[in-house]
Amino acid sequence: MKMHSLHPWTIEPAGARELQRELAGRLRFQFPPGLRVRHVCGVDVSSARTDNRLYAAAVVFSFPELELVEAATAVLPAAFPYVPGLLSFREGPVLLEALQHLRVTPDVVLCDGQGTAHPRGVGIASHLGLFLDRPTLGVAKTVLVGDYNPPGPEPGAVSPLVHQGRVVGTVLRTKRGVKPVFISPGHLVDPDTAVELALACCQGYRLPEPVRQAHLLSNRLRRVKA
């Protein structure tokens, strides 16, 4: 899978925050006209308390059938500390390594984490989207920034996630009786399409299937390698 060389990863936290502010200006939120989504990919990273390595998984499914097509993994030492709001600088290199191993290029990438629902508007989904130059969206289990009213109980119910007076994402109920997920555009996708894609990838679980399977695979990889 091809990707752009956007910037080096060797950077201090203060410089990383400044870089995020710069990258925010490069994001675009229009879905590519005429793009037919045939393959979607979920990505996630797992870490162990016993070492400094990160375990990434990228899992590709056909769309809309959601049949497994391919999976790739990568293991790298963490070169950046865990700092809230700077997760992409820690997890970005290992995720890009896993994505490079894919033979099938996905049309859309769903990331376990935030897109624009981020203090500086550039979560892991947005950051990866700029490297990949393709539509990405964030699927988060918890809120990083913003306030919201709970969506209705039925699957597909939504409510806006608002930060500093601006809608930065959507709170989406994917399954009755479970907590919602937090969907935000990463890059090259508008908020409504991000929600539609996330919901279309759900198969009866809280998380969309590509993200769920990437989560499971990254955890299996960690248990085997750690």
Instruction: Flag whether pLDDT at 167 surpasses 80.
Output: yes
pLDDT, position 50 = 83
pLDDT in tens, 50-76: 889 999 999 999 999 999 999 999 999
What is the edge-to-edge ordering of all strands in the sheet holding 136-140? 68-77, 53-62, 39-47, 108-112, 136-140, 181-187, 166-172, 158-163
Its pTM stands at: 0.96
44 marked as binding residue: yes
β-pair partners for 147: 162
pLDDT, position 166 = 96
pLDDT, position 181 = 99
Instruction: Flag whether pLDDT at 102 surpasses 80.
Output: yes
> What integer best gives the mean pLDDT of the chain?
97
pLDDT, position 1 = 79
pLDDT, position 3 = 87
pLDDT in tens, 118-159: 999 999 999 999 999 999 999 999 999 999 999 999 999 999
Instruction: Please return the burial class of 142, using the count of CB atoms within 10 Å of its CB with bins 0-12, 13-18 and 19+.
Output: exposed
pLDDT in tens, 173-182: 999 999 999 9
pLDDT in tens, 118-128: 999 999 999 99
CATH topology of domain 37-225: archaeoglobus fulgidus dsm 4304 fold (3.30.2170)
pLDDT, position 130 = 98
Instruction: Specify the residue for token string 């299996």.
Output: 220
Query: Checking DSSP bridges between strand 68-77 and strand 39-47, what pairing results, if any?
Result: unpaired
Degrees to nearest 5, angle at CA 163 with 9 and 122: 15
Where do the structural domains in the chain lie, given as residue ranges?
37-225
Q: Tell me the pLDDT band of 17, cut-offs 50, 70 and 90.
A: very high
Instruction: Flag whether pLDDT at 49 surpasses 90.
Output: no
112 marked as binding residue: yes
pLDDT, position 2 = 79
pLDDT in tens, 180-226: 999 999 999 999 999 999 999 999 999 999 999 999 999 999 999 86
β-pair partners for 166: 163
pLDDT, position 4 = 86
pLDDT, position 155 = 97
